[in-house]
Amino acid sequence: MKNIILLTFLGLSWCSSNAQVGVNNASPKALLDVEATTPNTPNANDGLLIPRINQFPATNPIADQNSMMVYLTTNLFAVNINGTAKDYTSGFYYWDNAQTDWIRFLQQTGWTINGNDNTDSSLNFLGTTNNQDLVFKRNNVVAGLLHTSNTSFGVSSLVANASGINGTAIGVNALSSNSGGSSNTAIGSSALAANVSGIRNTAIGHNALLNNLGGRNTAIGYGAGDTNTNGDFNTYIGENADATNNNLQSAIAIGNGARVGATATVSIGNNAEATEQDAISIGRNADAFGINSISIGRSTGSNGLGAVAVGANSDASSQYGSAYGSFAQAIGTRSTALGYSSDANATDGVAIGSSSQVSGLNGVSIGSSSETTGTDSVSIGNSASVTAGNSVAIGSSTIASADRTTSVGEQAVANAANALAFGSGTVASGVRSLSLGRIAEASGENSSAVGENSISSGVSSSAFGSKAEATADYSLALGFLAHAADESSVVVGSYSEVTGASLNSIILGNSSLISGSSTNSIAIGNDITITGSKTNATGVGYQASPTASNQIMLGNAAVTEVVTSGAVRANSFISNTTTYPDYVFEDYFKGFSEIKADYKFNTLEKAETFVSENGHLPGVKSYAEVKRSGFKLDITEATITNLEKIEEQFLYIIELNKKIKSQEQLINSQNSKIESLEERLTRIEKLLEK
């Protein structure tokens, strides 16, 4: 019944409105004018229901149904209506015969504030379709710009640009003052905010290059380069990486808090700082405060002109100083320290090795824990030490502790002026002493010890050979276990020794001994013994041991001859013999000899006959015999034979003398008779004259 009344009402309304329909409205303002029952307090059913469908018709509508409206109650997926499968969400749709598709209401070409769907990246975009800039605003303040050569995004970014090109500004106030600067890039709030005409700058980070007016600068990081104003070609990378001078050129600071303070400086590392021209600082808390200085490593420091520090906590604080290694220090001018905790704190000093130290001018220390404190000195080796000037120590734990000393070898020690020690464990403790060989020791002034375990403790003493000892002043020991223990003594030969106050004595040979106050004695040969206070005794040859003072012993009992090609001269000769020529007199006067029983005295006539027959004296070797022996003469034999002949000649002379005296008596008697006869003759002549 209600439907009939409504249709009647609609019909009446349409009829009364010149083909216009009004629902709850007697004066429709359109072809269909539906009014709520009570507009201010509408009912739940005050509305217009469009046909609701769960699926689109299997057969598409045609042109007659163009703009026909339906409401899709469900979401449809991958539905192919116009030849392309796509999704349809629930909502009001109308048929668009031109597109041969159901079009959802509210699908518009403009962007909505709640987001958009059903976009096509090949068709939909945000921007302009003519040659005009795209501007973004916030609170009516420019917040973005897409220009043919400039790009900005952020409130007040690139807002003052007039002629600058190729600029990019992203962030609040980025490049906000730029008017003519070109090719700048600012990313971050207030990045390059003060830049007006500077070109080719790059700033990334909040306040990066905040006050920049220069060109060709790069800053990356919070506050990076914010001090730079007129500087050019600078690079700042890291939070607060910056300059201490606002007009630097070609400086580089990389790292949080890194600082540069002069043109062409480089600082790399957190809180690294390079403040002078061409300085380089690399490492956390590294400092380069000198012109042309270099610091590489955590907490390094190079404070002098041209100084170099490489290694954690290394320090080169003087001009041209170089420190390489953790905790290395080069404090002296032109000094060099290389190694962990090495220390060169003297001018032109060089320290190389862990914990090596140099404190002497021009000193050199090479080796772990080596030390050089003297001027112009050198120490080389683990724990080598030089504490005096112009000295050298080479070897592990070597020591040179006096001026102009040299010590070479493990634990070698030279601790007196001008001393030289060469060899493991050697000691040269005497002034101008020389020690050469393992554990050799020269403690006497001007002494020399050469050989393993050799010792020279006397003034101007010399010991040459393993375990040789020269323990007295001016002594010389040469040979294995040679020992010269007395003043001015000389021992040349192994196992030989001069001892016991045997002053000025000499041994040339092995296993010989001079002792017991045998002064001024000489032993030339092996196994010679001179003892018992034999003064001026000389032994020459094997076991040629003198038996008394002032004696020369040539060889031992086994010696059969002494040969020389030259002359032998002496004030006297003494030789051993078992006989003596007194047997001549014994036989002559007694008729026999107890000394030499086979001797018989020859008369002069017999001797004459023997000589005429043999051509030589009886009892004397002939020329032929001497020739057969190689002309060798037994001096003792010859001396006895000669004395024998002399005694025989003496006896011959005695005999002749007796005959002469007898003849003299006869002559005298005859002369007396002649004189008597002459007197008688004279008297007779006188008588005859009368």
What digits encode the pLDDT tens for the residues 261-318? 999 999 999 999 999 999 999 999 999 999 999 999 999 999 999 999 999 999 999 9
Judge whether residue 472 has pLDDT over 80. Answer: yes
Taking the C-alpha atoms of residue 439 and residue 581, their distance in angstroms, rounded to an integer, is 64
Taking the C-alpha atoms of residue 229 and residue 97, their distance in angstroms, rounded to an integer, is 67
Count Cβ atoms within 10 A of the Cβ of residue 36 and give its class: 0-12 exposed, 13-18 middle, 19 or more buried.
Answer: middle
Residue 6: band (very low, low, confident or very high) from pLDDT cuts 50, 70, 90: very low
Percentage, residues of the chain above pLDDT 90: 64
Amino acid at 292: N
Say how far residue 157 (Cα) sits from the centre of its chain. Answer: 58
pLDDT of residue 112: 67
Name the residue with higher pLDDT: 263 or 17.
263
Give CA angle at 573 (567, 575), nearest 5°: 115
**What is the 3-state composition of the chain as percent helix, strand, coil, each rounded to the nearest 5?**
15, 25, 60
Taking the C-alpha atoms of residue 69 and residue 84, their distance in angstroms, rounded to an integer, is 21
8 Å CB contact between 351 and 362: no
Cα separations in angstroms, 540 against 328, 482, 555, 559, 563 = 67, 18, 6, 11, 14
Q: If DSSP codes are grouped into helix, strand and coil, which group holds residue 150?
A: coil
Q: Per-domain residue ranges for the chain? A: 1-48, 52-106, 583-672
Taking the C-alpha atoms of residue 537 and residue 559, their distance in angstroms, rounded to an integer, is 19
Calculate mean pLDDT across residues 562-568.
78
Element (H, E) at 376: none
8 Å CB contact between 21 and 29: no
332: left (phi over 0), alpha (psi -120 to 50) or beta: beta
pLDDT of residue 110: 61
What digits encode the pLDDT tens for the residues 163-209? 999 999 999 999 999 999 999 999 999 999 999 999 999 999 999 99
Tally the C-alpha atoms within 13 A of residue 30's C-alpha that lie toward its C-beta.
Answer: 5
pLDDT of residue 10: 43
pLDDT of residue 512: 93
Residue 20: band (very low, low, confident or very high) from pLDDT cuts 50, 70, 90: confident
8 Å CB contact between 357 and 349: no
pLDDT of residue 610: 87
What digits encode the pLDDT tens for the residues 406-441? 999 999 999 999 999 999 999 999 999 999 999 999
Q: Within 10 Å of residue 318's Cβ, how many Cβ atoms? A: 26
pLDDT of residue 8: 40
Calculate mean pLDDT across residues 399-405.
95
Residue 107: band (very low, low, confident or very high) from pLDDT cuts 50, 70, 90: low
pLDDT of residue 106: 66
pLDDT of residue 108: 52
What digits encode the pLDDT tens for the residues 613-627? 998 888 888 888 888
The chain-wide mean pLDDT, for the chain, equals 89
Taking the C-alpha atoms of residue 136 and residue 152, their distance in angstroms, rounded to an integer, is 9
Residue 5: band (very low, low, confident or very high) from pLDDT cuts 50, 70, 90: very low
pLDDT of residue 19: 64
Percentage, residues of the chain above pLDDT 70: 95
Calculate mean pLDDT across residues 630-648.
81
What digits encode the pLDDT tens for the residues 355-367? 999 999 999 999 9
